[in-house]
């Protein structure tokens, strides 16, 4: 029990570090943000930060990898679930949209600051993308083989779904009239229609 609590505390602190780092990278840019700035925002000393990352570039990698790793995991879960492809795709789209909305600042930092990523971070990002694409394409192919989906090419369908959902980070604003649940619902409907699937009851 004590070990579990210690692990939870570690993850909470790390999550807080990534949240603050992403906000400062977003506001000021990676190059103009120092670890001292991040430590000051957290009201801690730099040694606290070094418990979780090796340096500022490693911190950027972890910020950029957070949403891509979770997206790849959602796609893998959708592929492995024991349900028909339409239901799995619907659940996947909803969960992905919620993940992108929650992590939109992380994605904004990723797209702006990718050029500063060290090589290990680039490799891990590429690996996440491969896992995501493989899982989503496999799910689309399975649905087409079972007669639930209708489209010409699974790569085109996969890229269309990925592009449409990913770009939410750039336009979604929580203060506007549509909340995250409604955006996720509409995207689920949009994607299912795009692949020729019937709505999930």
Quote the pLDDT of residue 34.
96
Kindly state the average pLDDT of the residues 89-117. Answer: 94
Q: Is the pLDDT of residue 38 over 90?
A: yes
Length of the chain, in residues: 201
- Residues near 7 by Cβ (< 8 Å), separated by ≥ 6? none
Q: Is the pLDDT of residue 28 over 90?
A: yes
**pTM for this one?**
0.88
Quote the pLDDT of residue 120.
92
Per mean pLDDT, which range of 5-19, 131-145, 173-187 is the poorest?
Answer: 5-19
Q: Is the pLDDT of residue 3 over 70?
A: no
Q: Is the pLDDT of residue 2 over 70?
A: no
Quote the pLDDT of residue 112.
93
Kindly state the average pLDDT of the residues 71-75. Answer: 89
DSSP 197: P
Quote the pLDDT of residue 198.
85
Quote the pLDDT of residue 174.
85
- Residues near 139 by Cβ (< 8 Å), separated by ≥ 6? 75, 78, 79, 85, 88, 89, 92
CA distance 129 to 199: 28
């Amino acid at each position: 029990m004590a070990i579990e609590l210690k692990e939870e505390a570690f993850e909470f602190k790390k999550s807080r570090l990534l949240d603050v780092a992403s906000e400062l990278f977003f506001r000021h840019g990676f190059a103009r943000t120092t670890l001292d700035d991040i430590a000051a925002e957290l009201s801690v000393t730099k040694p606290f930060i070094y418990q979780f990352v090796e340096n500022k570039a490693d911190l950027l990698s972890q910020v950029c990898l957070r949403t891509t790793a979770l997206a790849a995991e959602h796609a893998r879960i959708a592929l492995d679930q024991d349900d028909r492809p339409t239901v799995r795709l619907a659940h996947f789209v909803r969960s992905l949209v919620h993940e992108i909305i929650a992590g939109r600042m992380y994605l904004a930092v990723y797209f702006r600051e990718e050029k500063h990523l060290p090589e290990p971070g680039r490799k891990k990002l590429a690996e996440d993308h491969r896992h995501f694409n493989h899982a989503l394409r496999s799910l689309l192919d399975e649905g087409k083989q079972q007669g639930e989906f209708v489209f010409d090419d699974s790569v085109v369908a996969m890229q269309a779904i990925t592009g449409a959902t990913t770009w939410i980070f750039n336009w979604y604003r929580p203060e506007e009239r549509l909340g995250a649940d409604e955006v996720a619902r509409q995207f689920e409907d949009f994607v299912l229609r795009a692949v020729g699937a019937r709505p999930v009851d």
